[in-house]
Amino acid sequence: MSESGSITRRSAVAAATAAVAAGHFAGAARAADAQTMLVTGSNRGIGLEFVKQYAAKGWTVIATTRSPDKADELKKVAAAHKNVTIEALDVTNFATIDALAAKYKGKPIDLLINNAGITGDFRNPKPQSFGTLDHAEADSFMRTNALGALKVTEAFYENVKLGQGKKILAVTSLAGSFGAKFGGMPGGYWYKISKAALNAAMVNVSMDAIKDGIIVAMLSPGQVRVEKIGNIPIPGLIETPESISGMIKVIENLKPEDAGTIIRYNGERQPL
Amino acid sequence: MSDVSDPAVTRRDALAAGGATTVLGFGFWTEAFAADGAGAGGTVLITGASRGIGFEFAKQYAQAGWTVIATARNPATAEPLKALAKAHKNIRIEALDVTDVKAVDALAEKLKGTAIDVLINNAGISGGAQNQKVGTIKYEVFDDVMRTNVMGPIKIAEAFTPHVAASTQKKIVSISSTEGSLTGISGRPDVNSIFYRASKSALNMAMINMAKALKDKGIIVVMLSPGLVQTDFVGDLRLPIMISPEQSVAMTMPIIARVTMADTGKYFRHTGELAAW
């Protein structure tokens, strides 16, 4: 559609800086104070580690998962930390998203992390490889990885507006990046295209949100040894706690000019 | 843009000058140029050929003497396309809904043994600007936009890989949009097209991966941004930079003609420049 009219983002950022300053820098000054965060897909992997580390920092953590009943590890963390609340949330079920947003209406959320996502089975690349793609799986990837994050962001937007931190993140992947040299991995089609779609949606939202002083950005966690990877030997694999502590640092240091960008767990900017 | 040997540039400059139209009449001139820009003849399959850019591709490739397989969801109601096929014996119309996986397989089976030199994934939908305003997004249009703009072209490329591999030119072209450029949309929050943008970005991601997957078969995969074209897509919007479908296709056909394996995975604007990701 539109080909022109591309205003530099700098002017929008400059205008928004004043708005952000009140929340962001005040937030930084009182970093030790307890804040509230919500993370989706927190029953395992990256989401679970975010819960553990933010809970240890004394934050109030709203940890969502599709099936709290089956989230044994998460329940253990919640039992050990009074500041962790588990909530049932399926990011593809909009009624549950709206219901949870209604429950938290008027309550500030400083940080929203859209983490819930699906990758498919690493050991069976066939449904996601060109020539043998299982098209019946495509909708589910798109709805979970791209649309879910967008809907959750929209539903909890007012909560984030009320918060001090004013940050919304989405966990994306190097595999969904155009600029990254990531030619090695064949297959993963549904995963990659859903992450590209997620990135486009979040870049789009970031432009609206910065007007409200909210920074929307994407996190690239690195190749993390999540439970599903197990002992598969992958070069460059990092352990989950390292990735998450890195991303928490990235989140702490987020600036308005980071809106709409992808930042890796080690602080490097990842091309879109 | 200084490379005047670039046919797209030459074409654009000619369009800007506009002199040719007064001498020859626009239709004749376009036809002559299209025949020129189409490259060596062959067979082209175009999805979404009932109107807009797809219709124009069918028309200009037919005028250039190519064998054209023009697909449309509802050929029965595609009056201009039917009229075009009547005037050009080298156009064959096939019914195809790109979101119907079984229908795509059925058409591929029906055309088994037919070599397709150029496959143009053109069919696409915008999803409607009124449905895509952040804050009041109509989520129910998401699946349709993704299935039509992303999964459709992927499925078609999969199903027709043997046909393209059996041809001389071996090209798969997907019509994308600069709205799918993550860096290009920065600073423009007010275009209500979040799903459309996400779909074109996802399409591009699929195509760059497909380019790698099909390299061994000698198939060239490229993306094209058609420019801001005055079609049903843009509704009543009128801007000075807008071009007609006729102009857009006349500019992109030479690009399709000249791409080689060195260009596979690239994303071109209608002007011939590379588009930003």
Which ipTM did the prediction report? 0.85
End-to-end CA distance of chain B: 19
User: How many CA atoms within 13 Å lie on the side-chain side of A63?
Assistant: 34
Q: Which two tokens stand for residue A174?
A: 């190097």
C-alpha–C-alpha distance, residues B76 and B50, integer Å? 10
pTM: predicted TM-score of the whole model, two decimal places: 0.86
B5 confidence band (pLDDT: 50, 70, 90): very low
Q: Which tens digits make up the pLDDT trace of B88-118?
A: 999 999 999 999 999 999 999 999 999 999 9
- A267 — alpha (psi -120 to 50), left (phi > 0) or beta? left
Cα A33 to its chain centre, rounded Å, is 23
Token digits of residue A113: 């992390």
Phi, psi angles (nearest 5°) of residue B188: -125, 70
Give me Rg for the CA atoms of chain A: 18
Mean pLDDT of chain B: 86
Residue B187: its pLDDT value, please?
62
Cα B259 to Cα B17, B95, B220, B267, B270: the distances in Å are 26, 29, 8, 11, 13
Answer yes or no: do B213 and A139 touch at CB < 8 A: no
Residue B29 has pLDDT above 50, yes or no: no
Is A6 within 8 Å of B188 when comparing Cβ atoms? yes
Instruction: Report CA-CA distances (Å) from A183 to A173, A180, B208.
Output: 14, 9, 10
- Chain B positions touching A154 (Cβ under 8 A) are 134-135, 137
pLDDT at A230: 73
**Chain A, chain B: beta-carbon pairs less than 8 Å apart:** 152
pLDDT band at A181 (very low <50, low <70, confident <90, very high): low
Report the C-alpha gap between A204 and B92 in whole angstroms.
40
Predicted confidence at residue B236, as pLDDT, reads 75
Q: Which of A150, A193, A270, A272 to mutate to test the interface with B (most CBs of B within 10 A)?
A: A193
Overall residue count recorded for chain A in this entry = 272
Measure the CA–CA gap between A152 and A147, rounded to whole angstroms.
Answer: 9
Tell me the backbone φ, ψ of residue B129, rounded to 5 degrees.
Answer: -60, -35
Question: Tokens representing A32?
Answer: 């030790």
